[in-house]
């Protein structure tokens, strides 16, 4: 099989039809009549990390709180290294985007006075099972928005230093898309599957973050030379054992505490109850021989148990099946917890594109929002909506007076030739794509702070990882695909290897330990505010990850890329 | 984590094929749906909820504690019934309501 070029043209290309991408498209349609094209590798009805649903909205300014208190919480939880301008501009929009989702059909829980019922100080209760179908319906009703489902984008089109579109291929037929746009919004989500997962065998994809979010947006940006930030702040989630289902629903819903195997509530022994510490305390208890650790649920009422079953069906149904299959629900057996493999995900930590306050990346014509955009942890679903909205309004202003340009046919043919090289009917590579994936995950696990090392790494280990990832990248370009699905798998592995390279560079650069477990540097086990209240940024040039250290940006700053 | 598709019950309508976030479902030679890459399934149940024919059975891999039970769904207006079938033939039904928020 060989792919053939099909040229398309739009005003704004959105890559990734998830939370941020769909919201950006809806916003553009409401504020203009420009043409939007969403390129989505699956189908926007159930694509991305919210395929199964979402249990609650975890970023909302509840009564008595303000955008300032939200910013303070995020800043404190991230040990000071956040982009305050980004967090604050998100916080200002959280409630309006929530109200908007309600008009699109999202079911929320309200009290007698019509106020949302909160779960803690920043969360509200909803039924989020159908959040993606609701977004997809709203996109379908938006005039001038075209959706290209089952199209896997692989690189940006860059002309004279500007991003003017993207290349991708269909999963259904031999079409190679060359999409020309006046500007591009990247909303591809974060990266899972970099490290050996909790379930390394048959259930390898039973992970918390979507295994289909493979860091394509990061990788496209890295290859095009975009600046990235804070990859070293990995996200490691504390999750229910085996099913890797969220724990917050139990912890916040019924107030369950974390206990070790002798029944001690251990979290308080590890400092302030910050996100990394919930993880770190559990890892430490296991290391000290006091595992397994649990959420203490025994003794909850039958009603509470039934409500938990339903809450999980609306977001992580495997956990409900697990409880019922065993015949032991949370009322009779505590829920065992474990840490996941590390992910790179800008909706939870600060990893991603280095953007200005208006969400422009360091590449002209390219904007980023949601999990792929960095600097702003704990944005969660509503924060991704907010960021999609900000990016949409910025890009609308940017395209005024701009014309489409398209790559020379030589450039497009050159790109196509690289893709077609993987599709040689009479050639079969020595390694299969799955083997390269497994090798990458093993290297990252053992040498770049995965589960098996208690998330700890040091300089000599990172050098081994760096060397091997480079070799695997070489091998991956020799792979062959027998169909379009395999071609997608090859690109997913290539993208993750690029993300790994940048990640290793960042882990090496931050010479302190700022976030336990997330960034556990054995050479520098202490936090060092004197030298490291800084962003670790990078860009990829001349085959190397080049590190740039940048000073912190304050809440009211309007940050612009001065040196791009 | 994965699903099994009962080819006797599958109507070949193709609704499930459209929504799989991993694009793992394909039409087989007989016009029905097959999961071509079972090990790549995330377990999101998007396909299960699309199926009106109880043809898609959702189960836990043995490597994550699966013990022979499976789950399927049945839609009734705003209600979604989740039926868990155990190896001994017994069934447990849970119902979620699209119009109601989660208690937690």
Q: Summarize the confidence of residues B80-88 as an average pLDDT.
A: 96
Residues of B in contact with A115 (CB under 8 A): none
Residue B103 lies in a domain: no
Average pLDDT over chain A, rounded to an integer: 96
Coil vs helix vs strand at A299: coil
* Domain tally, chain B: 1
pLDDT tens digits along A341-363: 999 999 999 999 999 999 999 99
Question: Is residue A120 over pLDDT 90?
Answer: no
pLDDT over 90 percentage in chain A: 95
Residues of A in contact with B25 (CB under 8 A): none
Domain that holds residue B69: 2-97
Q: Tell me how far apart the alpha carbons of residues A488 and B43 are, in angstroms, rounded to a whole number.
A: 20
Q: How many CB pairs under 8 A join A and B?
A: 171
Upper half-sphere CA count for residue A516 (Cβ side, 13 Å): 17
| Cβ atoms B22, B39 nearer than 8 A | no
Beta strands in A369-455 (DSSP E): none
DSSP for B51-99 reads -SSS-EEEE--GGGT--S-EEEEEEETTEEEEEEEPTTS-EEEEEEETT
Q: For residues A66 and A75, what is the distance between their CA atoms, to the nearest angstrom?
A: 14
Chain B positions touching A126 (Cβ under 8 A) are 101-102
Q: Is the pLDDT of residue A468 over 80?
A: yes
- Mean pLDDT of all residues in chain B? 95
If one counts every other C-beta atom within 10 angstroms of the C-beta of residue A473, the result is 17
Q: Give residues 247 to 276 of A whose Cβ lies within 8 Å of B.
A: 249-250, 252-254
- Cβ <8 Å between B63 and A199: yes
B104–chain A Cβ distance below 8 A for any pair: yes
What span, in angstroms and rounded, lies between the C-alpha atoms of A318 and A272?
32
Q: Looking at the complex, does the CB of residue A319 fall below 8 Å from at least one CB of chain B?
A: no
Q: What is the dihedral of CA A525, A526, A531, A536, to 10 degrees?
A: 50
Of B21, B96, B100, the CB nearest to A47: B21
Q: What is the ipTM of this complex?
A: 0.97
Dist. CA B41–CA B32, nearest whole Å: 18
User: Is A107's CB within 8 Å of B69's CB?
Assistant: no
* Dihedral angle of Cα B102, B104, A121, A135, to the nearest 10 degrees: -30
CA angle A551, A555, A558 (to 5 degrees): 75
Radius of gyration of chain B (CA): 14
Which of A317, A322, A323, A329 is the mutation pick for testing B, counting most B CBs within 10 A? A317
The boundaries of every CATH 3.50.50.60 domain in chain A are 4-189+346-409
Tens digit of pLDDT for each residue in B47-83? 999 999 999 999 999 999 999 999 999 999 999 999 9
Interface of A with B in 22-41 (CB under 8 A): 41
Cα A445–chain centre separation? 19
Q: Closest partner residue to A203 among B45, B61, B102, by Cβ?
A: B61
CB contact under 8 A, A310 and B62: no
Spatial distance between the Cα atoms of A378 and A71, rounded to a whole number of angstroms: 10
Tell me which residue has tokens 């022979």.
Answer: B68
Tell me whether residue B104 is in a domain: no
- Radius of gyration in angstroms for the set of CA atoms belonging to chain A, rounded to a whole number: 23
Yes or no, beta carbons of A205 and B82 under 8 Å apart: no
Is the predicted pLDDT of residue A563 greater than 80, yes or no?
Answer: no
Considering the domain boundaries, does residue B21 fall inside one? yes
Q: Does A473 touch chain B (CB under 8 A)?
A: no
pTM score above 0.95: yes
Work out the pLDDT band at A408, boundaries 50, 70, 90: confident
Tens of pLDDT along A486-510?
999 999 999 999 999 999 999 999 9
Statement: residue A564 has pLDDT above 70: no
> Could you report the per-residue pLDDT of A132-166, keeping only the tens digit for each?
999 999 999 999 999 999 999 999 999 999 999 99
Q: Is A212 on the interface with B (CB under 8 A)?
A: yes
d(C-alpha A361, C-alpha A371), whole Å: 14
Residue A488 contacts B, CB cutoff 8 Å: yes
Q: Check whether A91 has a pLDDT greater than 80.
A: yes
* SS3 labels along A180-225: ECCEEEECCCCECCCCCCCCCCCCCCCCCCCCCCECHHHHHHHHHC
Whether residue B34 lies inside any domain: the answer is yes
What is the Cα–Cα distance from B21 to B44, expressed in whole angstroms?
9
Q: Which fold has domain A238-339?
A: Flavocytochrome C3; Chain A, domain 1 (3.90.700)
Q: What is the pLDDT of residues A210-249, one digit of tens each?
A: 999 999 999 999 999 999 999 999 999 999 999 999 999 9
CATH superfamily of A4-189+346-409: FAD/NAD(P)-binding domain (3.50.50.60)
B41 touches chain A (CB under 8 A): yes
Chain A contact present for B46, CB below 8 A: yes
CA distance B1 to A202: 7
- For A378, the enclosing helix (H) or strand (E) is none
Q: Rounded CA gap, A140 and A128, in Å?
A: 19
| Torsion sign (Cα): A15, A16, A17, A19 | negative
Residue A347: what pLDDT? 97
Task: HSE, CB side, 13 Å, CA atoms: give it for residue A263.
Answer: 2
What is the mean predicted confidence (pLDDT) over A166-184? 98
* B58 in reach of chain A (CB within 8 A): yes
Contact A247, A238 (CB under 8 A): yes
Residue A256: DSSP 8-state: P
pLDDT in tens, A289-342: 999 999 999 999 999 999 999 999 999 999 999 999 999 999 999 999 999 999
Q: Which helix (H) or strand (E) holds A153?
A: strand A151-159
Order across the sheet with A258-259: list the strands.
A238-240, A335-339, A293-295, A258-259
CATH of the domain at B89: 3.30.70.20
Most B CBs within 10 A among A22, A46, A128, A319, hence the mutation to make, goes to A46
Residue B30 lies in a domain: yes
Residues 6+ apart with CB under 8 A from A215: A188, A190, A191, A194, A344, A495, A496, A498, A499
Distance CA A50, CA A246 (A): 13
Residue B31: how many other CB atoms lie within 10 Å: 10
Q: With an 8 Å Cβ cutoff, are B23 and A150 in contact?
A: yes
Q: Quick check: A354 and A375 in contact, CB under 8 A?
A: yes
């Amino acid at each position: 099989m060989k792919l053939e070029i099909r040229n398309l043209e739009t005003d704004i290309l959105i890559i990734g039809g998830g939370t941020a991408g769909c919201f950006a498209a809806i916003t553009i349609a409401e504020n203009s009549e420009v043409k939007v094209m969403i390129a989505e590798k699956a189908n926007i009805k159930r694509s991305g990390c919210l395929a199964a649903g979402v249990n609650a909205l975890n970023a909302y300014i509840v009564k008595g709180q303000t955008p300032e208190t939200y910013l303070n919480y995020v800043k404190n939880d991230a040990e000071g290294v956040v982009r305050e301008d980004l967090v604050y501009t998100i916080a200002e929009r959280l409630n309006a985007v929530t109200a908007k989702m309600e008009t699109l059909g999202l079911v929320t829980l309200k009290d007698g006075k019509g106020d949302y019922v909160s779960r803690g100080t920043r969360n509200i209760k909803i039924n989020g099972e159908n959040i993606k179908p609701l977004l997809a319906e709203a996109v379908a009703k938006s005039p001038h928005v075209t959706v290209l489902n089952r199209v896997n984008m692989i690189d940006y089109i860059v002309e004279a230093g500007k991003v003017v579109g993207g290349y991708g291929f269909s999963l259904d037929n031999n079409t190679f898309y060359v999409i020309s746009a006046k500007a591009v919004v990247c909303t591809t989500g974060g990266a899972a599957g970099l490290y050996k997962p909790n379930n390394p065998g048959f259930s390898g994809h039973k992970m918390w973050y979507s295994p289909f979010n493979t860091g394509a947006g990061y990788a496209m940006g890295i290859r095009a030379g975009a600046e990235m930030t804070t990859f070293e702040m990995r996200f490691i989630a504390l999750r229910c054992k085996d099913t890797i289902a969220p724990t917050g629903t139990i912890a916040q819903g019924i107030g369950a505490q974390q206990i070790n195997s002798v029944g001690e509530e251990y979290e308080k022994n590890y400092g302030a109850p910050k996100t990394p510490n919930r993880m770190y305390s559990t890892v430490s208890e296991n290391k000290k021989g006091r595992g397994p650790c649990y959420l203490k649920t025994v003794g909850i009422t039958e009603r509470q148990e039934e409500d938990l079953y339903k809450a999980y069906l609306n977001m992580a149904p495997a956990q409900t099946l697990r409880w019922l299959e065993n015949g032991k629900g949370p009322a009779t057996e505590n829920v065992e917890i474990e840490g996941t493999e590390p992910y790179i995900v800008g909706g939870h930590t600060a990893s991603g594109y280095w953007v200005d306050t208006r969400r422009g990346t360091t590449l002209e014509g390219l904007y980023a929002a949601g999990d792929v955009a960095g600097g702003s942890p704990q944005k969660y679903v509503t924060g991704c909506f907010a960021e999609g909205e900000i990016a949409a309004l910025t890009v609308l202003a940017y395209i005024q007076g701009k014309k489409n340009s398209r790559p020379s046919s030589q450039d497009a043919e050159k790109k196509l030739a690289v893709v077609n090289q993987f599709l040689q009917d009479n050639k079969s590579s020595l390694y299969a794509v799955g083997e390269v994936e497994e090798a990458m995950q093993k290297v990252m696990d053992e040498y770049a702070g995965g589960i098996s090392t208690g998330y700890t790494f040091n300089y000599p280990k990172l050098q081994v990882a760096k060397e091997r990832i480079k070799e695997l990248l070489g091998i991956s370009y020799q792979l062959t695909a027998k169909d379009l699905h395999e071609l997608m798998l090859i690109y997913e592995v290539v993208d993750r290897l690029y993300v790994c390279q940048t990640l290793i560079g960042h882990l090496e650069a931050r010479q302190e330990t700022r976030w336990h477990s997330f960034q556990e540097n054995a050479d520098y086990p202490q936090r060092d505010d004197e030298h490291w209240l800084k962003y670790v940024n990078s860009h990829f040039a001349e085959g190397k990850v080049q590190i740039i250290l940048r000073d912190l940006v304050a809440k009211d700053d309007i940050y612009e890329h001065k040196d791009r | 984590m994965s699903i099994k598709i009962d080819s006797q019950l599958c109507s070949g309508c193709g609704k499930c094929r459209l929504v799989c976030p991993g694009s793992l479902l394909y039409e087989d030679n007989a016009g029905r749906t097959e999961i071509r890459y079972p090990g790549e399934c995330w377990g999101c149940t998007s396909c299960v909820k699309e199926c009106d024919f109880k043809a898609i059975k959702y189960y836990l891999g043995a490597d994550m504690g699966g013990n022979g039970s499976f789950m399927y769904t049945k839609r009734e207006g705003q209600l979604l019934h989740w039926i868990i079938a155990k190896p001994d033939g017994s069934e447990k039904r849970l119902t979620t309501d699209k119009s109601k928020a989660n208690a937690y």
